[in-house]
């Protein structure tokens, strides 16, 4: 089974031919070279591929994309503001190693115990929140200067020191 990573959202339509503005967190400018399709989640864990006809960089966080079959503004507007997902293989090729989103799929470890695998990365001005599942519930783990011990890219692990009582609310 393919694993998908959320990379951003279709923020707006642009132009008259159905182009879309993809706001992404890949950490660098990209034309999505080598990526055949992006995925939109129609319902929970059901991903529909949309094939990329063309893409051009707007800036470090935005790419203008044209999807097959989306040829008019009205069709493009129906896809906004949907979240965009990418297959794991494509994600690993495109995500900047230094960007927070590259932590997707890593394990969060505290006091020598694996808490869970990072499902989503939420960037905020002063910290990054990593979403993991604890007992079936979403838990947001803050990763910033004071809580981060180290990142072990080789073993795909993020070591953190968490504030007293943070995990109690998820048990």
pLDDT at residue 4, rounded to an integer:
84
CATH number at residue 115: 2.30.30.240
Q: Specify whether 85 is located in the same domain as 137.
A: no
Q: Specify whether 23 is located in the same domain as 70.
A: yes
What tens digit of pLDDT does each residue of 80-117 get? 888 898 888 888 888 877 788 888 889 999 988 899 99
pLDDT at residue 126, rounded to an integer:
80
Q: Specify whether 78 is located in the same domain as 148.
A: no
pLDDT at residue 3, rounded to an integer:
80
Q: Specify whether 18 is located in the same domain as 65.
A: yes
Residues of the chain with pLDDT under 50: 1
Q: Specify whether 74 is located in the same domain as 123.
A: no
- What size, in residues, is the chain? 171
Domain stop point among 61, 95, 129: 95
Identify the domain containing residue 163 by its residue range. Answer: 101-170
Q: Specify whether 21 is located in the same domain as 50.
A: yes
Instruction: Please report, for residues 70, 104, 154, the alpha-carbon distance to residue 28 in angstroms, rounded to integers and kept in the order given.
Output: 26, 16, 22
pLDDT at residue 1, rounded to an integer:
44
Domain stop point among 95, 125, 159: 95
Domain stop point among 73, 95, 117: 95
Q: How many domains does the chain have?
A: 2
pLDDT at residue 22, rounded to an integer:
92
Cα torsion at 28, 101, 84, 13 (round to 10°)?
-40
CATH number at residue 68: 2.40.30.60
Q: Specify whether 63 is located in the same domain as 19.
A: yes
């Amino acid at each position: 089974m393919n694993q998908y990573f959320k990379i951003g959202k279709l923020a707006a339509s642009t132009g008259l031919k159905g182009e879309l503005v993809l706001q992404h967190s890949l950490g660098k400018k990209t034309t999505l070279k080598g990526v055949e399709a992006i995925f939109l989640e129609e319902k929970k864990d059901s991903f529909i591929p949309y094939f990329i006809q063309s893409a051009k960089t707007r800036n470090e966080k935005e790419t203008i994309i044209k999807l097959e079959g989306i040829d008019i503004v009205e069709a493009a507007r129906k896809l906004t503001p949907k979240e965009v997902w990418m297959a794991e293989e494509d994600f690993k090729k495109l995500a900047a190693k230094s960007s927070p989103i590259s932590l997707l799929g890593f394990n969060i470890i505290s006091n020598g115990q694996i808490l869970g695998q990072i499902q989503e990365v939420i960037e905020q001005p002063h910290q990054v929140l990593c979403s993991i599942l604890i007992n079936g519930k979403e838990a947001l783990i803050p990763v910033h200067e004071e809580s981060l011990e180290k990142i072990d890219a080789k073993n795909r692990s993020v070591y953190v020191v968490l504030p007293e009582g943070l995990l109690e609310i998820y048990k």
